[in-house]
Amino acid sequence: MTSGLVTDSISGVLQEVNEAVIFHRPSSPYQALKLLPANATPAQQDSVVQLYCQPVKVCHSCRPDTLSLPGLEGTHFGLENVPKYTDGFFSDNEYLHTELKVTFSGIAGNPIPYRLRDDIFITSTLLISFFVVMFIIARSLHVLFVQFKNFFYFHKRNEMIMLNRDSEIKTQTYVILLSSFLMAIMFLHYSSSALPDVFNHTSPYKLLVLNSCVCLMYFFVKVIMYQTTNWTFFSHQSIQQWNNMYNLLALLKVVGYFMLTLVIVFFDLQNSVSIWMFFIIYSAFILLLAYKVRQIFFCYNFALMHLFLYLCTLEIIPLLFLGWILIEANLFTLVFV
């Protein structure tokens, strides 16, 4: 009775759509619903689906299970007892306990700590820098010998001009770049033990790039300060003498930093020893610089106060600011990197 009413209702709906349409029996609920108009009620949709889409009875295969041992008959499983991955050939064995957690015997290994001498980038760069420094020294050996020979006394004016023309070293850009790179490596070694949170949180390459950029800015600002101060207070001839002297001392300081960096990288020098060695090299540089600055700029009486202010303003205080900025920049990476 109900089926007849549903059939009459569906037939009436289909006749309303198009009486001349050739009817094809739908094979899916989607095709059955497409027979109805857009304003069909949910009851009509449910009736047309039940009319044309009958549920299919699934018959399990009676063939043997190819995943089991050969010769065994296939086993029929319902949805409630599908075999788990724990079921297998030893499922019925009394010694198999799948509820127990599998543990592995042994001791957990510690990861190998990061060391500068194991970094191929740093060691390769140091090796290339060594050959470049040796090339610069070999190329300017005669000039360096003359400057060493005449370091502790004045030249006459004409001799000084000739020396300037013959011994001009056009490698200050490389010296500054190498100094920045060496100081960045030394501070990276310092931060590995003094700032372990920063060193473990941030990539060493990011710290190395950050330290190098800070050191480059330090040298750039110091060059501007030197040029401005010397141009304001001293004569052109004195500035030329000072430039030759400072270039020689800067090259010697880079050689000292380079040897210290090699010892730090390849022999894991302690931080306390490396800091003392750094300040010994820098103190020797300051003493030689003070001697020549006193001889070139402050050769009058009662000039020690001016010399002290000159060196503190242009050398010592910028170095202290550099150390503070490097520490703050590395701590900055904990939050924003």
Q: How far is Cα of residue 312 from the mean position of the Cα atoms in its chain?
A: 36
Average pLDDT, the chain: 79
- Compute the distance between CA of residue 52 and CA of residue 294 in angstroms, rounded to an integer: 109
pLDDT score of 273: 93
What is the residue whose two structure tokens read 């759509």? 17
CA distance 256 to 284: 10
pLDDT in tens, 47-103: 888 888 877 776 666 765 566 666 656 565 555 565 555 556 666 777 777 677 666
Percent over 70 (pLDDT), the chain: 73
Q: Which amino acid is at 185?
A: I
Residue type, 267: F
Q: Which of 4-8, 233-237, 316-320, 330-334 has the lowest mean pLDDT?
A: 4-8
Q: Which residues 6+ apart lie within 8 Å of 68 measured at CB?
A: 74
Q: Which residues contact 252 (CB under 8 A, 6 or more apart)?
A: 285
- Two tokens, residue 97: 């306990």
Average pLDDT over residues 219-239: 90
Write out the two tokens for 135: 């090339």
Mean of pLDDT values over 100-124? 77
Burial class of 183 by CB neighbour count within 10 A (0 to 12, 13 to 18, 19+)? buried
Asked whether the beta carbons of 313 and 228 are under 8 A apart, the reply is: no
- 34 in Cβ contact with 28 (< 8 Å): no
User: How far is residue 317's CA from residue 239's CA, in Å, rounded to a whole number?
Assistant: 22
- Tens digit of each residue's pLDDT (9 = 90 or more) over 203-227: 899 999 999 999 999 999 999 999 9
Higher-confidence residue of 158 and 133: namely 133
Question: Rounded CA gap, 189 and 261, in Å?
Answer: 10
- Residues in contact with 334: Cβ distance below 8 Å, sequence separation at least 6, in sequence order: 197, 198, 201, 202
**Cβ atoms within 10 Å, residue 190:** 21
Strands (DSSP E) along 166-299, which ranges? Answer: none
pLDDT number for residue 274 = 93
Please tell me the predicted confidence (pLDDT) of residue 161: 42
Strands (E), the chain: none
Please choose, from the candidates 304, 251, 295, the residue with its C-alpha nearest in 3D space to the C-alpha of residue 153: 295
pLDDT of residue 74: 56
- Poorest-confidence range of 17-31, 134-148, 257-271? 17-31
Claim: this prediction has a pTM higher than 0.75: no
Look up residue 111 and give its amino acid.
P
Indicate the pLDDT class of residue 165, thresholds 50, 70 and 90.
very low
* Residue 269, CA atoms < 13 Å, CB-side half-sphere: 22
Q: Which residues contact 219 (CB under 8 A, 6 or more apart)?
A: 176, 179, 180
Rounded-to-integer distance, Cα 294 and Cα 303, Å: 8
> Given phi > 0 = left and psi -120 to 50 = alpha, else beta, which region is 106?
left
What's the pLDDT at 247?
85
pLDDT classification of 335: cutoffs 50, 70, 90:
confident
Contact present, 250 and 175 (Cβ < 8 Å)? yes
